Amino acid sequence: MRKILVTGAAGFIGHFVGERLLARGDAVVGLDNLNNYYDPTLKDARLERLAGCHGFANFTFVKASLEDQAAMHALFDAHSFDGVVHLAAQAGVRYSLTHPHAYIDSNITGFLNILEGVRAQREKLGLCIASSSGEKSVGNIGSDGLGFGPHLVYASSSSVYGGNKTLPFSEDQEVDRPVSLYAATKKANELMGHTYSHLFGIPMTGLRFFTVYGPWGRPDMAAFKFVKAILAGETIEVYNHGKMQRDFTYVDDIVEGVIRVLDNPPAAEPTSGRDFAFEKLALHRVLNIGNNHPEPLTEFIAAIEDALGIKAKKKFMEMQPGDVPQTYANTSALQQLTGFAPYTPLRDGIKRFVDWYRSYYG
């Protein structure tokens, strides 16, 4: 039995990841601070699914905030993890315009505490080697080219691509011009992850999620807001006059990708032919995980209307600050690594979400 830390375990994606890990026989330690960014009762209900209704006995919940350094130190001191799936973060592009400090606290300081926790675990396990000078180093790589200690899989975002016009978005594109603070923090996570991997030999994978939707989703996300408003007979706000396209990705596909990536830690690659002054690259990579099929926002709304059997009242509006007009994931790297690429058609996923919404909220 492996023990996996899942941060954001009461969150939309996190509770599904925890469920999958438990179902296959892993032990899961779930971390969440249960904040009130949105309705905490929804988070409590997700936790109940993990802790009770499926009869899983190997789930342990820890209530703590990522930015609480003492709590994070205690977590890694109390457990030895075989893998870490870091999904907890302050989400939302528009919220970052009005609450910037929340993003620095959770997404920067919090991620640093995760990195330090994994680093401390490696040191606790004695995963270090002696250098020729007699000094100790923890930045080692095994003879098979793999790092030691837990594989850290963390959530990045398609937001890092900012205003890039070349589609589909590929992992080798420049991502130095974010258009929201949220995106900037996710880009910072990728840089921090590479640095810690290079210095301390920690195997890491950052996953750039593309517009995730599905049952148990967040109330601040489009599918949730549109369904709620349409059922109440209220007007929905359609930004950029409906001229947006998103690579909508169903949550089950995201979870499948996360699990497969977790089971395939990166190996060290030689730097021959690359402009890098060290013998091997860091055990760090970033991968897109999206549906590889952008849909117009108007089609997204039409799918909801058809699933509900109700026409939406629409108010067309300008593009909002921090938004981008289109996202589109190239998932060839993910498919080559894992043999999997997201595939759920939009209308199938929307129907499942609407069915869940009506069941959960009556």
Q: Which pairing describes strands 313-316 and 3-7: parallel, antiparallel, or unpaired? A: unpaired
Strands (DSSP E) found in the chain: 3-7, 27-32, 59-63, 83-86, 129-130, 136-137, 151-157, 204-209, 212-213, 235-238, 245-246, 249-250, 284-289, 295-296, 313-316
What is the per-residue pLDDT across 48-89, written as a single tens digit (0 to 9) for each? Answer: 988 875 556 799 999 999 999 999 999 999 999 999 999 999
Distance of alpha carbon 241 from alpha carbon 234, whole angstroms: 18
The whole-number average pLDDT for the span 316-345 is 94
Q: What percent of the chain has pLDDT over 90?
A: 80
Residues 6+ apart with CB under 8 A from 260: 337, 338, 339, 340
Q: What would the mean pLDDT of 110-135 be, rounded to a whole number?
A: 74
Q: What is the pLDDT of residue 124?
A: 80
Res 351 pLDDT > 50 = yes
Amino acid 362: pLDDT = 85
- Please say if 239 is a catalytic residue: no
Catalytic residue among 103, 154, 161, 182: 182
Q: What is the pLDDT of residue 148?
A: 60
Task: Give the SS3 label for residue 183.
Answer: helix
pLDDT for residue 270:
76
Average pLDDT rounded to a whole number, residues 134-157: 66
Pairing of strands 136-137, 129-130: antiparallel
Query: How buried is 83 (Cβ within 10 angstroms: 0-12 exposed, 13-18 middle, 19+ buried)?
Result: buried
- For residue 20, what pLDDT is reported? 95
**By three-state DSSP, how is residue 93 classified?**
coil
Q: What is the mean pLDDT of residues 146-153?
A: 78
In this structure, the strands spanning 313-316 and 136-137 are unpaired
Identify the pLDDT of residue 127.
57
Confidence of residue 131 (pLDDT cuts 50, 70, 90): very low
- Structural domains in the chain, CATH included, are 3-213+249-292+330-344 (3.40.50.720)
pLDDT tens across 220-246, in order?
999 999 999 999 999 999 999 888 999
pLDDT at residue 132 in the model: 35
